[in-house]
Amino acid sequence: MTDDTTAPAIPDRLCTDPRSPFYDAKVFERDIGIVFNGKERFDVAEYCLSEGWIKVPAGKTVDRKGQPLMVKLKGTVLAHYR
């Protein structure tokens, strides 16, 4: 069983892409849950708590480098450890 005190604090902005400056490997050692406008989202690629937005893939569409195209959705964002 893991103790919640050993987990790093959830950052204000976090991205799942390792090339991003907002990527933090220590945070991803535990499972993170994102609640957007009252619903649990499992497809979030990036979020910002203070600005209130998330980025999710736009279907199966990819750019010319093979990365999924992202759509920015604005609303109430809550992040927590599961």
Residue range 16-73, pLDDT digits in tens = 999 999 998 888 888 899 999 999 999 999 999 999 999 999 989 999 999 999 999 9
Asked whether the CA dihedral 17, 22, 25, 30 is positive or negative, the reply is negative
The whole-number pLDDT of residue 5 equals 61
Evaluate if pTM is beyond 0.75: yes
Say yes or no to pLDDT of 79 above 80: yes
Say yes or no to pLDDT of 1 above 50: no
| Residue 3 pLDDT class (50, 70, 90 cuts) | low
8 A C-beta contact, residue 49 and residue 59: no
Say yes or no to pLDDT of 2 above 70: no
Q: Tell me how far apart the alpha carbons of residues 75 and 67 are, in angstroms, rounded to a whole number.
A: 25
